[in-house]
Structures are given as C-alpha cells and as structure tokens.
A and B are shown apart, each in its own frame.
Chain A
Amino acid sequence: MYPEDLLYTEDHEWIKVEDGVATMGITDFAQNELGDIVFVELPEEDEEFDQGDAMGVVESVKAVSDIYMPVSGTVVEANEEVMDAPELVNSDPYGEGWLVKIQLSDESQLDALMSAEDYEASLE
C-alpha cells in the first residue's frame, strides 16, 4: 500500500522524483481517511510555492482538506484528469490519481522526507 520508490510526508502526501521533477499525490491512507473524493482544486502551471504551503484542496463528501507542498518548487503540470474525475484519487492514488508535478528548487529537502517503511510506522 506504500510503494518503496516513493517518499512520504507527515501530511500524508507522496512524491516521486525523476530528473529533478517531483510528481506528488496523497497516500492510500489519506484517501481512505477522507472517503469518497468529489472535488479537487489544483494550482496553475508556473505557480511557485515554499515547502509546507497550502497549494490545493481535496474535498470528500464530508471533508475539505488542504494539500501542502511536500517540497519547494514551481508547478510544471497539474493533473487535469483528476479535476474532472476526482474519484481517481481513491481508486489509484499513486497512479492516475497523481495531483501535480513540481520542478524542485532545493533537492536537499528530500533528505528529510520519510521512506515507505518510516511512513508506515508513523501510522501505527
């Protein structure tokens, strides 16, 4: 449920880094806690954020939840499909349910993120 090739945050986001670009989404734990997701709001391309900034929103039937930047950087792509079909976040949180791609501004921030093992332990 927590793929080993991803890094995780305390806010229940995952990121996957390839060539300086991080793809991020929310974890299986987060989507399960939220329940049926019915709305996703994401930032525009080229918007810049610091690590920890609220940059989007995921809403389930009952709850509104901010999405935080796991690392500082610039948004290079937001997932259009997931805005039209928010249920993808429930059905495939690490795949089609990804949220944004970020050009990292400080790769050293990655060192402080959790491994799959650490994240899973943090949920206990």
Chain B
Amino acid sequence: MSEGQDLRKTPLFDIHEKYGGKIIDFGGWALPVQYEGILEEHRAVREAAGLFDVSHMGEVRVTGPEALACVDFLLTNDLSVIADNQIMYSPMCYPDGGTVDDLLTYRVGENEFLMVVNAANAEKDYQWIAEQAAAFDVEVVDESPDTAQLALQGPRAEAILRAVADRDPADIGFFRFDADVSVAGHAALVSRTGYTGEDGFEIYCAPEDAPGIYEALMEAGEDHGLQPAGLGARDTLRFEAALPLYGQELGPDISPLEAKLGFAVKLDAGDFIGRDALKRAKEEGLAKRLVGFEMQERGVPRTGYPIYDTDGEEVGHVSSGSFSPTLGKNIGLGFVPPKMIKWGTQLQIGVRKRKLSAVVVKIPFYQREG
C-alpha cells in the first residue's frame, strides 16, 4: 500500500516492500510502521534483535578551528568532556529555554563534529545550526541526503554485526563509534547507540550501500532471530525506556529541565544558547515536569489526553501513552505541576468521557539488565 507519489523514499524502500512493510507517511517520508506486527517486532528487539531503517534522520557536520566551541555553544550539555570517537546526547535550545531538538553529537576530532538530528527537524536544525555557526570559524554541511542509517538493536546485535564486520564490534564501547568499519564490504561508521533501551548499533553508510548492508545483516541474523522492525516498534521501545520523542516530550514550549533531561543540561560549564533562561527557570521553579504513570483502571492513555488531580482539576496532559508490550500494562508519560511528581501520587487520566485512576511511577518503565 504505497500512499502518494511525493513522499520521500529512503534507499531501503524496495527492501521494505520485499519484507512486507506496511508503508505510511511519516513526516513526508514513506517508511514502514510495521512488517509482521508491532508486538512481535518489539519482542524481537527485547529478546533477540531487530533491524530498523532510520535513513530519514538528519546529519549535520561541523568542521573548522572553532568546531568544539561552536557545538558547545549550540548544545546544553558539556561537549568539552568527550574524547575523539565518543558521542554525547544533548538537547539544543532557543534563547528562551524552549527546545529546538535533541540529538547525538559525534566527536570525530577537536575540529570536527557530526550532529545527528531528528528527521522531522532536519531542515529546521540545519538552518538554526548554520545561523548560530556564522559567529564561529567553522563550516556547516548538511550531509543528510548523502547518508543512510540502519539501527541494529537487541541483545543479539553484537553477535550479528560481528559476522559481517571487519572488526570486533565488542571493541566499540557504549556511546562510542568507529568511523572506519567495513560492513559486508561497504565502508561504514558504526556507533554503539540506539533508541530502544537495548544494546545495539547504528550504522551510517552511503545510500547506495544501504541495501547490501541490510541484506547481509538479515542473512547473518537469521539464526539469531533478527527481524525487520518498523516505526511502530521503535516508538513503543523508546517509550518503555522513557527516551523523549521530539514533538511529544520536547518542543519549543518545553524546556529540557521540564522534560527531566537535567543530566544533559550543564548550567555551570560555560555559556550556551538558552543558559540564562534555564538557570532562571530552575531558580524560580519549573512550570511543569515530566512524569511516568501507570493506569489503575482499564484504559489506554494517549498523546494529548488531559491529566487531572484527584479533585478533578485539569493539571496537565499526556505526552506519550501506550500498552507496554514488555510490562503488559497501560502506561504513560505526561506533564504535571512539580508538586505532583512524587512516586505514588494519584492522578486521573481523561480517557474519552471518563476520568480513570493512575499513579505516578518511576521512569524509565523498562531498563535492561547489565
């Protein structure tokens, strides 16, 4: 079921059709929401491995003598503390503390950084980065059209990748990368990163090499239970791990402090865009905070549903909600006043015409062992 002719296709479009992917319009991209089924793909990633096409993600390279100063000024985290071949997660803010995007930054060298941004924000981010970078001695290049990306995720990911790579993926530590790996004979950058809460790798390559790498991984993964996995499972997996989704847990009117990303906001490690506003907000008290909750009555929380206190006053909204395949429960993330974030706090979730009981619980909902 291909919808529309003007959707952008990744280099793996034909492969999605071959594996029975159900193609949807995802922010202008034709991508598979599922193949066999979201629950099965979700389980495969938790217990074995799944292979995702994430070629729609954006890649922006910043190079030049002031590259480190530039990315450090753009991002809320402290980029000066990572070494070459290391990766750092960070929000990127507007001067008012609202969030432009959240992204991974790869340090190739002191004079070269690769920023990997959300697909829906790729053009906006590139514009923003290029504008801010004008004050620095750097060059900013949007490499998105020249880059495909696969995510191999799950406990069997390392064994599968080992079978087709020219070096041992065990040597790539968490949030580190190797820019010079041959995967099934194709040049690739491999990082130990992901958006599922499992161990796994993200593989960046030239668009024309993506199908070859994909098929080699599928073949190597056959005995390991590897399955093609779509956007549906990607969302339920990241949600259980309480990894934020831009547009739901983050946005121009949501600061990273409100979204519980304080660990990636270093207010005392040099200036960055948004620092003053975030500092002030922290001192004056945040307007809202992200919490996790579990339903105590029958109902599935969904994005946008209202959250009430026990007196029935509307106090916030659900940012993400779903049946959790791993936990077998209906759970959600949402924004509430800071006084309501303690575990055990009773909430009510507006599900259609009813208000259903829920309780604030610890996030992430799911954390892998080890």
Residues on A lying within 8 angstroms of B by beta carbon are 35-36, 38-39, 41, 57, 59-62, 64, 83
Contact = CB atoms under 8 A, between A and B. Distances in A.
Interface string B233-261: 00110000000000000000000000000
12 contacts: A35-B22, A35-B33, A39-B298, A39-B330, A41-B298, A59-B323, A60-B38, A61-B39, A61-B236, A61-B325, A62-B33, A62-B232
Nearest to B235: A62
Most chain B CB neighbours (cut-off 10 Å) among A35, A41, A61, A83: A61
Contacts of A35: 22, 33-34, 37-38, 232
Given A62-B33, A62-B232, A39 B299 contact: yes
A64 B302 CA distance: 9
List 10 A-B pairs, minimum CB-CB distance, nearest first: A38-B323, A36-B39, A61-B38, A39-B300, A36-B37, A59-B300, A36-B38, A62-B232, A35-B38, A61-B232
A38 B232 contact: no
B304 to A, nearest CB: 11
Nearest to A33: B22
B121 interface: no
B352 A57 contact: yes
Interface in B320-344: 322-323, 325, 330
A40 to B, nearest CB: 10
A9 to B, nearest CB: 22
Contacts of A61: 38-39, 232, 236, 322-323, 325
Nearest to A66: B352
A59 B232 CA distance: 14
B173 to A, nearest CB: 33
Interface in B110-163: none
A113 B325 CA distance: 37
B37 A38 contact: no
Interface of B: 22, 33-34, 37-40, 232, 235-236, 298-300, 302, 322-323, 325, 330, 352
Contacts of A38: 39, 300, 323
A29 to B, nearest CB: 12
Contacts of B40: 36
Nearest to A32: B22
Given A57-B352, A59-B300, A61-B232, A39 B34 contact: no
Contacts of B323: 38-39, 59, 61
Nearest to B233: A61
A49 B37 CA distance: 34
A61 B330 CA distance: 10
A25 B352 CA distance: 21
B48 to A, nearest CB: 18
Contacts of B38: 35-36, 60-62
Contacts of B37: 35-36
B31 to A, nearest CB: 13
Contacts of A57: 352
Contacts of A59: 300, 323
A35 B33 CA distance: 10
A123 B38 CA distance: 24
A59 B22 CA distance: 18
A35 B24 CA distance: 13
Contacts of B300: 38-39, 59, 64
A30 B38 CA distance: 16
Contacts of B299: 39, 41
A39 B331 CA distance: 13
Contacts of B302: 64
A83 B302 CA distance: 19
Given A36-B40, A41-B298, A61-B325, 20 more contacts: A35-B22, A35-B33, A35-B34, A35-B37, A36-B39, A38-B300, A39-B299, A39-B300, A39-B323, A41-B299, A57-B352, A59-B300, A61-B236, A61-B323, A62-B33, A62-B38, A62-B232, A62-B235, A64-B302, A83-B298
Contacts of A62: 33, 38, 232, 235
A122 B60 CA distance: 47
Contacts of A64: 300, 302
B204 to A, nearest CB: 28
Contacts of B235: 62
B319 to A, nearest CB: 16
